[in-house]
Structure 1
Amino acid sequence: MFRFAITSAALLALVPTAAAQTVESSAGNLTATVIAEGLDHPWALGFLPDGRMLVTERSGQLRVIDDGVVGEPIAGLPEVYNQGQGGLLDLALAPDFETSGQIYLTFSERAQDAGLQRGQGTALLSARLVLEGDSGRLEDSTVIFRMNNFTTTNRHFGSRVVIGQDGNLFVTLGERGDQDRAQDMMDLAGAIVRIAPDGSVPDDNPKPEGWAPELWSKGHRNPQGATLRDDGVLFTVEHGARGGDEVNMPRAGGNYGWPVITYGVDYSGVPIGEGTEKEGLEQPLHYWDPSISPSGLDFYEGDLLPDWQGDLLAGGLSGQLLVRLDVEGDAIVGEERLFAGQLGRIRDVRVGPDGAIYLLTDADNGRLIRVAPEG
């Protein structure tokens, strides 16, 4: 409780006097205030124990934001494949980060950096973050996981990393623009994998016959949001093609259908697969048609917006909006759209220790934005 109080106070101190935008919502008027800007396509946000924040930039930098000031790049980051949708992607702080400094970073890796012959793929780095002023360095860095089939396309890398309640890691992986890979059960593309913190395979992974042992679920297109509910259940959002963006609750051993079933069509308008449902394939909890290109996902568990407790928050890239999904049990029963077209492409959504909602916008001059009740 003492640590939380310090963190909340520090986050509130970050809010500068700046032009703000206000919208009406089911929780009252909400104001979006820019906390920091000048970020190069920021991808993921994390909260440090002292109230500062960490942000990844797709071009390969990890930075500390302190009182609205963006620090110098942290040293020791891996080389990333910064082309198309690739680059430095998600981050997660270990539960014992305050004492261990342990963090995880997902990124798109070049084959030559992985000791492979060609292409690029998604990888997961484990490292110890040493903070020094407004910057720092990574030490003891190790790539603990990489997808098992690198290809030359520059899209659909995923990728989010979520730490489960048991300490194991969920990593979301896109199908790299080759839709059939999502139904190849020995290919880690188009999947959610579950690995131990050292990169090994947990003994209790589902392991259906014919599945690679790292797999948790398959049949995903390009999952760019993932979070845990307070009971430890994983939720994800993923991009469809033209329509068919999905919210899923991936269960162990589940096949979520792409590209056999989908609620979208190809960008040309041609149907994809066999329809919207098929025996043995899982249905989404919710889908969008037309697409909003969801990215970033978090459950609201703060005190500032009590009416939203337990609801999901997702960002929209092409939709340029913040979405609240009304969750009851394992069902999504309603949707509320906020700030449509006002803030830009929303890449990440995180609920801060102070109960405010923090957003990252995907742009050359990307911004960190705090959303909280007016006044």
Structure 2
Amino acid sequence: MIGAVVAAETSDYQTKVVVKGLDNPWSIAFISNNDWLVTERSGALRRIINGQLDVNPVAGVPDVLYAGQGGLSEIFLHPKFDVNRFVYLSFSAADTTDRKGNALVIVRGRLQGNKLSDVTTIFKSDPLRKTAAHYGARIQFLADGTMLITSGDGFNYREQAQSLDNHFGKLLRLNDDGSIPSDNPFLSTPGALPEIWSYGHRNPQGLIIAKDGTVFEHEHGPKGGDELNIIQPGKNYGWPAITYGVDYSGATISPFTEKPGMEQPIKYWVPSIAPSDMVLYQGAMFPQWVGSLFVSALVPGDVRRLAMSENKVISEDIMFSEFGRIRSIAEAPDGSLILAVDGNEGSLIRVSADSP
């Protein structure tokens, strides 16, 4: 459903630039309320302590392929980070034997001071791609300690999103060390890759897991047809066999918006908003927002607050449109929202309650 869209009132919050001069910030993680990590797509992992950007990037980050839409993407802390110090990074990387090919890679390392150690590759997408686009690259952990990874269709490989023998256009489920959980949905399917959890996706860049286990995902459509989905294991989400969008040339990708055996989005956007990240707000700072999904967007550049009821979108407000392209949104431990503004002079914006 599309539904009505309204501009939000600005009287409930204030915004402040926390950090400037970031090179295409992509993802944010919070060690504490005063100690943040942020990725720069050009390849650096940066630390922000007490609102100040450390001039020295975190050491030990692997080399990335910084091209097109590729580069250093997600930073995610292990659920038991306070004990094991594990962090996860997603990025695009050139293949070591076929330099024309590249892949989505996930590594795990231990953050010790301002350095990553014991860095291990736990996932590499297969087959290789020759494009530098549509990586997905989001990470989330389920309550059982397994992790979900979004893997995009590589732009030129969209038909493979409907096949189970590759990683294009998939959500994947792994144990925290990269091994395969014993209850993944396609373990007994001949020819299927055992890590696949769902399929038929385009470029999924929003992934959130609610306290009740509901998995919300959003993905870029082509020209129109951005989607917000509730993901269930083993399900087919249709791309490119069904879509609410058309090709960038205006040509038809599929005449169908629905087919038997393929899931429908709970919301879609026409025209596209280019959804880039998402948070399910649970903080104490804005009680009126608890339970809302906040979707950051690149086109024209804003955040959509989606009020939810029984996993359905009941209203949509446009917020923070004054900052341009919003690459990421995250909820800080104190309940404030942090926006990552895209670009080679990117910034972080803190959204907080008005001072009394």
TM-score range, shorter-chain basis? over 0.9
1:95 to 65, 79, 82: 79
Structure 1 residue 272 displacement after superposition: 1.2
Post-superposition Cα deviations, 1:312-334, rounded to whole Å, max 9, x if no partner, equal 01100123001111111121121
Post-superposition Cα deviations, 1:34-91, rounded to whole Å, max 9, x if no partner, equal 1111100000000013621000000110010112221111111111010000000001
In structure 1, C-alpha distance between the alignment counterparts of 2:343 and 2:145, rounded to whole Å: 33
In structure 2, C-alpha distance between the alignment counterparts of 1:338 and 1:262, rounded to whole Å: 27
What SS does structure 2 have at the residue aligned with 1:124? strand
Residues 91-240 of structure 1 correspond to what in structure 2 (within 5 A)?
Answer: 91-112=75-96, 118-131=100-113, 136-177=114-155, 178-207=157-186, 209-210=189-190, 211-240=192-221
In structure 2, C-alpha distance between the alignment counterparts of 1:372 and 1:334, rounded to whole Å: 22
Q: Does 1:51 align with 2:34?
A: yes
Q: Which runs of 5+ in 2 are unaligned?
A: 1-6
In structure 2, C-alpha distance between the alignment counterparts of 1:89 and 1:309, rounded to whole Å: 27
Which residue of structure 2 aligns with residue 364 of structure 1? 344
The percent of aligned pairs where both chains have the same amino acid is 40
In structure 1, C-alpha distance between the alignment counterparts of 2:199 and 2:288, rounded to whole Å: 34
Is the Cα–Cα contact under 8 Å of residues 158 and 168 in structure 2 kept in the other structure? no
Task: Note the aligned Cα RMSD (angstroms).
Answer: 1.6
Is the Cα–Cα contact under 8 Å of residues 27 and 308 in structure 1 kept in the other structure? no
Structure 1 residue 116 displacement after superposition: 5.2
For this pair of structures, how many residues does the alignment match? 346
Structure 1 residue 27 displacement after superposition: 8.2
In structure 2, C-alpha distance between the alignment counterparts of 1:32 and 1:50, rounded to whole Å: 17
2:23 to 30, 40, 44: 40
Structure 1 residue 29 displacement after superposition: 2.8
Is the Cα–Cα contact under 8 Å of residues 27 and 305 in structure 1 kept in the other structure? no
Which residue of structure 2 aligns with residue 298 of structure 1? 279
TM-score (norm 1): 0.89
In structure 2, C-alpha distance between the alignment counterparts of 1:32 and 1:108, rounded to whole Å: 32
Q: Does 1:62 align with 2:45?
A: yes
What SS does structure 2 have at the residue aligned with 1:198? coil
AA at the equivalent of 1:173: S
Residues 222-301 of structure 1 correspond to what in structure 2 (within 5 A)?
Answer: 222-301=203-282
In structure 1, C-alpha distance between the alignment counterparts of 2:211 and 2:300, rounded to whole Å: 28
Structure 1 residue 188 displacement after superposition: 1.0
AA at the equivalent of 2:146: N
Which residue of structure 1 aligns with residue 315 of structure 2? 334
AA at the equivalent of 1:347: R
Structure 1 residue 355 displacement after superposition: 0.9
Which residue of structure 1 aligns with residue 4 of structure 2? none
AA at the equivalent of 2:106: L
In structure 2, C-alpha distance between the alignment counterparts of 1:26 and 1:219, rounded to whole Å: 37
Post-superposition Cα deviations, 1:249-296, rounded to whole Å, max 9, x if no partner, equal 110001100101011111111111231111110001111111110011
Which residue of structure 2 aligns with residue 349 of structure 1? 329
Does 29-38 or 188-197 show the bigger shift?
29-38
AA at the equivalent of 2:329: V
1:75 to 59, 66, 89: 59
Is the Cα–Cα contact under 8 Å of residues 92 and 163 in structure 1 kept in the other structure? no
